[in-house]
Amino acid sequence: MSAASSFGDALALFAIFFEGEHNSLHPAGPSSHDIEWLYWVIFWIVFVAFVLTMVAFARASKTYSRSEEMLPIIKDEEGDRRATWAVGTAIIITVLTLFAVLFMSVITGKKVEGMSSSNPITIQITGHQWWWEVTYPNPQADQTITTANEIHIPVGKPVVILTNSADVIHSFWAPSVHGKRDLIPGYSSAFWIQVNQPGTYPGRCAEFCGLQHAHMGFSIVAEDEATFEAWEQQQLKPAPEPHDAEAIHGREVFLTHTCVMCHTIHGTGAGSRVGPDLTHLATRKMIAGETLPNTTGALAGWIIDPQRIKPGNQMTPNPLAPDDLNALVTYLQTLQ
């Protein structure tokens, strides 16, 4: 890799961290506001402690740095007593400050956990190596929505997030929405999120979970009630029937190759849940755990050789003939 491109990569990484809303200092909801408040309180306490320490060091070095040779030890009882007092007072102030920080952390934790609503929307998030399964459970199976990586929620409403993991420990983190939450295999946990401004808030896996941990992104799309309900209605429908010959051939390719062994497309025979549900793939902006944009080229590249893009992931290469690949991509792009 050339120096110029690694510099470019570093800049891109910098841009990701400071871009728009991928930032815990740009809170978008009540719990992230509370977390930001606590951050600034601790920041200013630490800043004051830093300045005081530096001033004390500067004074001490100014007083004692003048002579080169070792000074004789002078017995100074008055000075010793003053030093004991100063150190004792500093220890007491430090301990009290740490207790104050502990108290504020506990209060903030309680506030963040304490949201409630009588009829909340519930979303089940399951971590997979290396993507996020997103389910909107409903007692009626045909009213359950399953999608991947893109979490739609209504603005201004508390939403319950239930977490689980299908394999190893992951951590769900959308910095401008909530703190981190670990997803532990075999354990379910629940927490609330709420977003008060419409927008798309990116999130990441924040616990090292294997080779492609860095490529395990998701996004929270907060939209007004009407848009959210329209999205829900759309997602509940089975996959649209393909009309033109190319797309019909593409569905044939999907159902007769390895795709069908891992993916679901409602309304066809495909019902496996190893990989993401593709029923409404074309409505999603990104693919592959938000690694690639959902474009023709990226889709085709991902299908042909996913191991080159995300080595170690569960999807096998699919060396399709060019006509079959084109037809398959055309079909996938009809899945609105």
Q: Is 207 among the residues that bind ligand CUA (CB under 6 A)?
A: yes
Cα-based torsion angle of the residue sequence 117, 118, 120, 126 in order, rounded to the nearest 10 degrees: 90
- Residue 26 or 213: the one with the smaller Cβ distance to ligand CUA is 213
Outline where the chain has alpha helix (H): 3-18, 30-64, 77-113, 225-236, 245-256, 296-304, 306-309, 322-332
Least separation in angstroms between residue 223's CB and ligand CUA is 26
Site for ligand CUA in 116-135 (CB under 6 A): 127, 130
Binding ligand CUA (rule: CB under 6 A), the pick from 205, 247, 320, 327 is 205
Least separation in angstroms between residue 125's CB and ligand CUA is 11
- Residue 207 or 324: the one with the smaller Cβ distance to ligand CUA is 207
- Residue 30 or 127: the one with the smaller Cβ distance to ligand CUA is 127
Q: Which two tokens stand for residue 232?
A: 């829900």
DSSP structural state of residue 192: E
Q: Which two tokens stand for residue 77?
A: 């009882």
CB atoms within 10 A of CB 184: 17
Q: Is 145 among the residues that bind ligand CUA (CB under 6 A)?
A: no
Q: Which two tokens stand for residue 158?
A: 């508390």
- Residue 31 or 129: the one with the smaller Cβ distance to ligand CUA is 129
Binding ligand CUA (rule: CB under 6 A), the pick from 216, 239, 292, 320 is 216
Q: Is 180 among the residues that bind ligand CUA (CB under 6 A)?
A: no
Binding ligand CUA (rule: CB under 6 A), the pick from 38, 112, 174, 209 is 209
Q: Kindly give the interhelix angle for 322-332 and 296-304, rounded to the nearest 10 degrees.
A: 120
Q: Kindly give the interhelix angle for 322-332 and 245-256, rounded to the nearest 10 degrees.
A: 100
| Residue whose pair of structure tokens reads 């670990």 in the numeric block | 182
Cα separation, 12 vs 207, in Å, equals: 22
Q: Is 174 among the residues that bind ligand CUA (CB under 6 A)?
A: no
Cα separation, 294 vs 145, in Å, equals: 20
Q: Is 150 among the residues that bind ligand CUA (CB under 6 A)?
A: no
- Residue 162 or 169: the one with the smaller Cβ distance to ligand CUA is 169
Least separation in angstroms between residue 209's CB and ligand CUA is 3
Site size with ligand CUA, rule: CB under 6 A: 9
Least separation in angstroms between residue 177's CB and ligand CUA is 17
Q: Kindly give the interhelix angle for 77-113 and 30-64, rounded to the nearest 10 degrees.
A: 170
Kindly indicate which of the ranges 9-17, 81-89, 209-217, 270-278 contains the residues binding ligand CUA, using the contact rule CB under 6 A: 209-217
Cα-based torsion angle of the residue sequence 318, 321, 327, 330 in order, rounded to the nearest 10 degrees: 50
Give the footprint of ligand CUA on this chain (CB under 6 A): 127, 130, 170, 205, 207-209, 213, 216
